[in-house]
Amino acid sequence: MNGNTRTGPVILVAEDHLDSRDALKTLLEAVGYSVVEANDGREAVALALESHPSLILMDLMMPEMNGLDATRMLRQQEEMRDVPIVALTALEGVRESALEAGCDDYVTKPVDLPNFLRKLEEWLDEGRQAAG
């Protein structure tokens, strides 16, 4: 099947570094998720409202609009209030800022893949329960 076939939940990956975005996309598609990609916070907001993802992985440091501002903007939208948003960052000490902005959780880079995939399932299960 090609990458355009939507089989599993849709995950929006907001990440300005192409290599990181490609790696996440490859990993997520390999385990059955559909991926929508955003290059910056402004694009992440627009694509989230357009594609209605099941979960958003939000890099915090991006051009145009950072991930914290993008998260705040998304949380103001009724249809985005229950969508899990997980902050992705290599920065230390920004966990509180991410949670205050409206992120549901926080993952540091480099990502611990087995733990990350397990947590993804938990976040998606919680999102489905909130939507149901």
pLDDT in tens, 29-65: 999 999 999 999 999 999 999 999 999 999 999 988 9
| Per-residue confidence (pLDDT) for residue 1, from 0 to 100 | 35
Does some domain include residue 121?
yes
Q: How far apart are CA 29 and CA 16, in angstroms?
A: 19
Does some domain include residue 1?
no
How large is the average pLDDT for residues 102-117? 91
Is the confidence at residue 22, as pLDDT, over 90?
yes
Does some domain include residue 113?
yes
- Minimum mean pLDDT among 21-30, 88-97, 121-130: which range? 121-130
Among residues of the chain, what percentage have pLDDT more than 90?
71
Does some domain include residue 31?
yes
Spell out the residues 6+ positions from residue 61 whose beta carbon is closer than 8 angstroms to its own.
16, 67, 89, 91
Structural domain total, the chain = 1
Does some domain include residue 4?
no
Range of the domain at 30: 10-131
Does some domain include residue 74?
yes
Cβ pair 87, 60 in contact under 8 A: yes
| Per-residue confidence (pLDDT) for residue 131, from 0 to 100 | 59
CATH number at residue 111: 3.40.50.2300
